[in-house]
Structure 1
């Protein structure tokens, strides 16, 4: 897909598709009943939870892995087995979802916006099956309405959490330059970059500084063209590092691995900001480099949506994770605890509450 095409998708999504996500926004999925048979729903032995990954695979240390962990947790509590299909290419999304339907799955989790159309098509063809779509509003014609009633979109306003990471990064930076880059220019990628830049800008306005953001100017920036840890991703990371940044946030699943290689080869002291999962925990090789991670609690929201399906209480209302409902957040500093000024972290904590209270407004494609 070309950059011009993705820009059109961004514009269309902001203008129309995500209006639905806000208008139809529901609360976090209801906690399931206390028994192991899914409350009043199907008996656990009859319920089949399933999941289809995007091309990143279930070991991406990121959103595929977190979503899979949520399904596994639900299956363990229900005493059933998970059926899964790992996609290796875009052409496999539809067939993989259709295969899950043919396997008799009751709830099918589709991970990532790339699976949106295939999910909607399968949902409309199978109205008695519950579909859970991670990171997309299921509005592929961008008319402001969800395209299938039995799809539950799970969305995350990561701009709020990335704002905190941007403020923290600006305060931590000694070079006065921080960087970010993405896999492809989709809203679910640029939402991180938007929040990150807003956080840096807020730091500058509050502290009279002029920390620069390399790789994203609020409208466009640096992208690898995909979500693979490859030479293209490494080249983009290197180009940003060569401009003197000492903090970098790659947005796009495994591409952080390429950034890590570029950091190592640079021989410089550069901190990495992870996305989706806490990289310190999911990838121990990053522990000496990860300042923090911008978190999306996909494991929890996927788990709750699957359990709601098993409980017979499935709702197609969109869920949007925020700082307030703990659907997004930032990870602990871990090994950077002693490297970050305690006063800076106090400011970050204060800003978090101000975002929750509405004193600070963070804009994103999921904003009102």
Structure 2
């Protein structure tokens, strides 16, 4: 069985180490001093995207990983939160001036500023979450850089997650649960790190239909045409709520929002509708991080951002000068870098055989019996 999801081709990436990225405050960096330990002179730092550290998702998990590693190393990290796109470059520059040895940045929005800073400061280590740090080389039909498959600087490490695999499991589970025969998804911005979730979600539902001779419809994303519903950003706002409402109006009874806190807006739309609709989280297990809508959560598509960041910070602290490994980390089902959360309150509502089916599918994806393609493993 071969299931494909579309996206950019990224070559030269290997599954190595675990790393991740997170962020801090758009004001001056938090003061921090080292406190003993073999790595006491090491100063790890982080810059968030404009979603901020309290997004209950992407940025928050990264910061938790930074803090966990720093505690192990016996150092006090610095973090800077970005409130707007214009904060990225000055925030990174501020951390360079503060003497940071490692600067972790969160998300594709910081890609250009991170790469530029890495090139200008070859003695500082950088890492970036959900971006290949590959802006040079080829240009797409939209005029945007598509990269040449190589990291643009030797001192910046991409931290990536092949969430098409976990999205596949979530799509299968959603199709199995649906009572209306319609499930939906929407994203923040149409970029590969968002659509990779949506591809997997749609492909998983398709696989369910093939295995069960069903016809569950996926709305909000057309895998073949690579078109769908997007809010244009990652804020929890009326736009996100309206997009979710559009899926509800089309009879979707399971919804996967992909893009930081936009799931909160979907939760509000579902609550206002009064309908029996299940909600999926992305990145984090939102049942734990944002329990406001805990009764709505079927599951979440997970990225191991916290352990990835923790690992990369520790590795950077131990690396000798000139030995920083910039090989991209790719989280997969095999290395537990991606997965899906428990069903929590839905445990008694899903098909009793569903978990066994998902375990079997997961094993088949890991073995290669089911091939789930994405821009990271094409």
TM-score, normalization by structure 1? 0.91
Query: Alignment partner of 2:270: what SS?
Result: helix
Paired residues for 1:140-155 under 5 Å: 140-141=135-136, 142-155=147-160
Q: Give the aligned partner of residue 335 of structure 1.
A: 345
Deviates more, 1:143-152 or 1:183-192: 143-152
Answering whether residue 181 of structure 2 is matched by residue 176 of structure 1, we say: yes
Q: Hey, which bits of structure 1, 4+ residues long, moved more than 6 A?
A: none
Instruction: Kindly indicate whether residue 66 of structure 2 is the aligned counterpart of residue 71 of structure 1.
Output: yes
The answer to whether the Cα contact below 8 Å between 1:49 and 1:71 also exists between their aligned partners in 2 is yes
1:284-332 per-position Cα deviation (integer Å, ceiling 9, x unaligned): 1121111000000011111100000111263111000000000000001
By how many angstroms is 1:44 displaced? 2.5
Counterpart pick for 1:159 among 156, 164, 185: 164
Alignment-derived partner of residue 61 in structure 1? 56
Q: For the structure 1 residues 26 and 163, does the alpha-carbon distance in structure 2 shift closer, same or farther, using more than 3 Å as the test?
A: closer
Q: Which residue of 1 aligns with 2:305?
A: 298
Aligned to 2:375: 365
Q: How many residues align?
A: 342
CA distance in structure 1 between the aligned counterparts of 2:18 and 2:288, rounded to whole angstroms: 26
Contact in 2 for aligned 1:237/1:259 (Cα 8 Å): yes
Whole-angstrom CA distance in 1 between matches of 2:165 and 2:106: 22
Deviation at 1:29, TM superposition (A): 4.0
Q: Which residues of 2 match residues 262-301 of structure 1 at below 5 A?
A: 262-301=269-308
Q: Which residue does the alignment assign to 1:352?
A: 362
Partner of 2:8: 14
**CA-to-aligned-CA distance 1:132-171 (integer Å, 9 cap, x gap):** 1100100012122211110010000000000000000000
Q: Does the CA contact (< 8 Å) of 1:70 and 1:298 recur in 2?
A: yes
RMSD: 1.5
Q: Following the alignment from structure 2 to structure 1, what is the Cα–Cα distance between the partners of residues 13 and 80?
A: 29
Deviation of the 1:346 alpha carbon: 1.0
Do structure 1's residue 241 and structure 2's residue 248 form an aligned pair? yes
SS of aligned partner of 1:46: coil
The residue number in structure 1 matching 2:217 is 212
Find the aligned partners of 1:75 and 1:53 in 2 and give their Cα distance.
17
- Structure-2 separation of matches of 1:173 and 1:256: 19
Paired residues of 2:157 and 2:325 also in contact (CA < 8 A):
yes
Q: Is the 8 A contact 1:97 1:122 kept in 2?
A: yes
Cα-to-partner distance string for 1:43-88 (whole Å, 9 max, x where unaligned): 3221111000001001101110111110000111111111011001
Q: Distance in 1 between matches of 2:263 and 2:281?
A: 7
Greater helix content: 1
Greater mean alpha carbon deviation, residues 141-150 or residues 85-94: 141-150
Aligned to 2:230: 223
1:24 equivalenced with 2:4 (yes/no): no
Task: Note if 1:185 corresponds to 2:174.
Answer: no
Matched, 1:195 2:189: no
Where 1:27 maps in the other structure, the secondary structure is: coil
Flag structure 1 segments of 5+ consecutive residues without an equivalent: 1-10, 31-41
Distance 1:44 1:366 in 2: 34
Give the whole-Å Cα distance in 2 for the aligned partners of 1:51 and 1:281: 24
- Between the aligned partners of 2:344 and 2:13, the Cα distance in structure 1 is 37
User: Do the aligned partners of 2:15 and 2:331 also contact (CA within 8 Å) in 1?
Assistant: no
Partner of 2:45, secondary structure, is strand
Matches within 5 A, 1:92-111: 92-111=87-106
Shift, 1:26, TM fit: 3.8
Contact preservation (8 Å) 2:18, 2:159: no
Aligned to 1:38: none
